[in-house]
């Protein structure tokens, strides 16, 4: 009996796994599946063009072939893919140029492109057509996947000379749907353009309407550098892996300096002091688990310069401002960019946040709108489990005069950029609830919120003063008459003097109030009771009722 069970023991390929669990790649639901395909192919196009230093031009066409049946064309102007890699790039899972590199990229798994080929084949039986213009040659090929082996099945159609470069992927899908909803392709590309102003994106919709998202910046953002890991966040296993794969048989001391960022000779000396029994002249490969563990502990005891910004390329404060103003022209807009931090594995990351309030946000009927991005890629799905959404939920918005976040005319953009984004699943639509990241997201939200609060409290104070002034003015006439008959002075004279007093009092108070407001003192670390914000004075509403 028990041995019967084990006759069933088998090994499976990762392609078979994702074929059976396509929902883990985001292929569940017709609208979502469509958006996921565009997402995977467009991010690949953007990564390829930027890496080659080319200003990205992305062309997406969606053609309706039948009910829930579409043809999709995604074309980039990148360098194309060499013949020897084309099949694997689109027909083998866990293959590609990105998985192992310490570099901020949109893709990071080597799964997405092949996942589209898989989904096309599963729903239509058709291979995916790839046209790769690379190094003067134009190769046209059909690509499918041998699921059992997780290997590409490639059929070359044509090879010809060309002067162009770039990759075009043409594929057919069923069980998908095109919709101009918040979860559709149009919205996905709109948000991509928002976070990537150097891209030109053209979308031809099924009704043949052409939507163009033109570039607003004529140069690519600076390239993120491929970096060395930062000592903070490195685990024992990571350290040993680096040591094991160290190719030159150097000393531990030089290995440390060459492997890690911010590791100067001085820092190695500090480590020597902390670890008097460690032999820093031994070969790194000889380091034991215990030694590596002690080393990691010592890393944590030293002070380090933060990881270099070079490795991280956020959207940028200016650009978030421009994009937000373009979309919403809000009454107030605050953008915050935090300094880079590290999390497990010594991986640098940083968070930028924009908060827009009132004005066009209210006019557009948006309330508590959240736009999530990771490495400039819009995240439209799985908001429930995402570190960004979860962090927004834990915010005490009342402290920032945003009582009911979901009822306020407020739009929040959060972009997390990282050398490795810890997605919750291979579908890459939600960020795992890593504590270090959630902390940074929270601090960034708090910083930006304080800016909004400043505006709101200034605005409220100005409104209160204007209201009081009106009420007081109302009694001036009456009081001036009464005082006149009591004192015998001219009523008009008394009235003028009273008005002068009022003007002096409220005019001064009113001035400059838009720049003040409470809750200023915070510096990123929130403490209970600090920056509590201005409470609405009791009775304010009744006062308002009198005059307005």
User: Could you say which residues in the range 96-135 bind a copy of itself, by CB under 8 A?
Assistant: 96-97, 99-101, 109-110, 121-125, 134-135
Minimum separation from the CB atom of position 507 to a copy of itself (A): 48
Work out whether the CA dihedral 340, 341, 342, 343 comes out positive or negative: negative
Question: Is 52 among the residues that bind a copy of itself (CB under 8 A)?
Answer: yes
Q: Which stretch binds a copy of itself (CB under 8 A): 136-144, 155-163, 409-417, 423-431?
A: 423-431
Question: Is 55 among the residues that bind a copy of itself (CB under 8 A)?
Answer: no
Question: Is 439 among the residues that bind a copy of itself (CB under 8 A)?
Answer: no
Question: Is 28 among the residues that bind a copy of itself (CB under 8 A)?
Answer: yes
Q: Which stretch binds a copy of itself (CB under 8 A): 35-43, 364-372, 384-392, 523-531?
A: 384-392
What 8-state DSSP symbol labels residue 431?
Answer: B
d(CA 275, CA 66): 69
d(CA 260, CA 162): 43
Q: Which stretch binds a copy of itself (CB under 8 A): 400-408, 432-440, 452-460, 470-478?
A: 432-440
Minimum separation from the CB atom of position 504 to a copy of itself (A): 51
d(CA 296, CA 252): 14
Question: Is 432 among the residues that bind a copy of itself (CB under 8 A)?
Answer: yes
* Of residues 215, 199, 222, 220, the one with CA closest to residue 58: 199
Residues in contact with a copy of itself, shown as a per-residue x/- string from 292 to 331 under the rule CB under 8 A = xx--------------------------------------
Q: Which stretch binds a copy of itself (CB under 8 A): 370-378, 406-414, 429-437, 470-478?
A: 429-437
Tokens at 285, concatenated: 């490969």
Q: Which of 55, 57, 73, 94 binds a copy of itself (CB under 8 A)?
A: 94
Our CB check for a copy of itself shows the closer of 63 and 238 to be 238
Which residue, chain included where needed, has tokens 């084309």? 86
Q: Which of 45, 56, 80, 229 binds a copy of itself (CB under 8 A)?
A: 80
Question: Is 23 among the residues that bind a copy of itself (CB under 8 A)?
Answer: yes
- H-type helices in 226-356, by residue range? 236-244, 252-259, 265-274, 289-301, 317-328
Question: Is 161 among the residues that bind a copy of itself (CB under 8 A)?
Answer: no
Our CB check for a copy of itself shows the closer of 316 and 422 to be 422
Output the CA angle 315-317-319, nearest 5 degrees.
60
Q: Which stretch binds a copy of itself (CB under 8 A): 17-25, 210-218, 358-366, 492-500?
A: 17-25
Question: Is 497 among the residues that bind a copy of itself (CB under 8 A)?
Answer: no
Which residue, chain included where needed, has tokens 């915010």? 395
Q: Which of 336, 389, 391, 415 binds a copy of itself (CB under 8 A)?
A: 389
- H-type helices in 409-490, by residue range? 435-487
Minimum separation from the CB atom of position 236 to a copy of itself (A): 6
Q: Which stretch binds a copy of itself (CB under 8 A): 354-362, 380-388, 394-402, 500-508?
A: 380-388
Non-local (6+) Cβ contacts of 486 within 8 A are none
* Of residues 91, 121, 105, 128, the one with CA closest to residue 14: 91
Q: Which of 384, 488, 521, 539 binds a copy of itself (CB under 8 A)?
A: 384
| Number of residues in contact with a copy of itself under rule CB under 8 A | 74
Which residue, chain included where needed, has tokens 């080929």? 117
Question: Is 242 among the residues that bind a copy of itself (CB under 8 A)?
Answer: no
Our CB check for a copy of itself shows the closer of 52 and 274 to be 52
- Phi, psi of 275, rounded to the nearest 5 degrees: -125, 70
Q: Which of 20, 403, 504, 536 binds a copy of itself (CB under 8 A)?
A: 20
Output the CA angle 463-469-474, nearest 5 degrees.
135
Which residue, chain included where needed, has tokens 């390329």? 313
Q: In what order do the strands lie in the sheet with 128-134?
A: 151-161, 137-146, 128-134, 166-174, 69-75, 57-66, 200-204, 210-213
User: Please, what is the angle between helix 236-244 and helix 252-259, to 10°?
Assistant: 110
């Amino acid at each position: 009996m028990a041995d019967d069970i084990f006759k069933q023991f088998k090994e499976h390929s990762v392609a078979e796994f994702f074929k059976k669990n396509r929902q883990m790649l985001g292929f569940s639901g017709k609208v979502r599946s469509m958006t996921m395909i565009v997402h995977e192919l467009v991010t690949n196009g953007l990564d390829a063009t930027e890496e080659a230093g080319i200003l990205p031009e992305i062309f997406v066409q969606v053609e309706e072939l039948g009910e829930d049946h579409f043809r999709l064309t995604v074309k980039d102007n990148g360098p194309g893919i060499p013949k020897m890699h084309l099949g694997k790039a689109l027909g083998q899972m866990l293959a590609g140029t990105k998985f192992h590199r310490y570099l901020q990229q949109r893709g990071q798994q080597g799964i997405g492109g092949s996942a589209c080929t898989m989904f096309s084949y599963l729903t239509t039986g058709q291979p995916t057509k790839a046209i790769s213009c690379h190094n003067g040659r134009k190769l046209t090929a059909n690509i499918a996947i041998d699921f059992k082996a997780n290997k590409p099945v490639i059929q070359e159609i044509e090879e010809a000379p060309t002067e162009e470069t770039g990759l075009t992927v043409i594929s057919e899908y069923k069980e998908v749907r095109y919709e101009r909803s918040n979860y559709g392709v149009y919205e996905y590309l709109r948000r991509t353009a928002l976070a990537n102003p150097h891209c030109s994106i053209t979308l031809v919709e099924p009704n043949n309407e052409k939507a163009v998202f033109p570039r607003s910046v004529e140069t690519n953002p600076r390239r993120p550098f491929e970096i060395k890991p930062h000592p903070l966040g490195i685990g024992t296993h990571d350290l040993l892996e680096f040591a094991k794969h160290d190719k030159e048989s150097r000393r531990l001391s030089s290995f440390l300096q060459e492997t890690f960022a911010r590791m100067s000779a001085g820092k190695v000396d500090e480590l020597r002091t902390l670890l008097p029994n460690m032999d820093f002249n031994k070969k790194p490969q000889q380091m034991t688990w215990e030694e590596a563990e002690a080393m990691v502990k010592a890393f944590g005891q030293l002070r380090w310069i933060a990881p270099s910004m070079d490795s991280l390329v956020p959207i940028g404060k200016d650009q978030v401002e421009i994009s937000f103003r373009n979309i919403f022209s809000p009454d107030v807009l605050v953008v915050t960019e935090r300094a880079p931090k590290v999390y497990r594995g010594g991986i640098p990351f940083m968070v930028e946040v924009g908060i827009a309030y009132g004005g066009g946000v209210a006019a557009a009927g948006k309330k508590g709108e959240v736009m999530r991005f990771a490495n400039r890629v819009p995240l439209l799905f799985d908001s429930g489990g995402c570190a960004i959404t979860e962090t927004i939920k834990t915010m005490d918005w009342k402290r920032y005069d945003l009582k009911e976040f979901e009822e306020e005319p407020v739009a929040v953009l959060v972009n997390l950029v990282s050398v490795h984004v810890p997605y919750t699943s291979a579908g890459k639509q939600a960020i795992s609830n890593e504590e270090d990241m959630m902390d940074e997201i929270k601090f960034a939200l708090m910083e930006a919120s304080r800016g909004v609060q400043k505006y709101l409290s200034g605005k409220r104070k100005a409104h209160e003063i204007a209201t009081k002034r009106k009420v007081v003015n109302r009694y001036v006439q009456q009081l001036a008459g009464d005082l006149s008959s009591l004192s015998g002075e001219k009523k008009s004279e008394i009235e003028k003097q009273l008005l002068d007093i009022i003007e002096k009092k409220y005019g001064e108070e009113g001035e400059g109030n838009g720049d003040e407001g409470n809750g200023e003192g915070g510096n990123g670390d929130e403490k209970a009771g600090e920056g509590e914000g201005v409470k609405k004075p009791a009775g304010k509403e009744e006062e308002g009722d009198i005059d307005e």
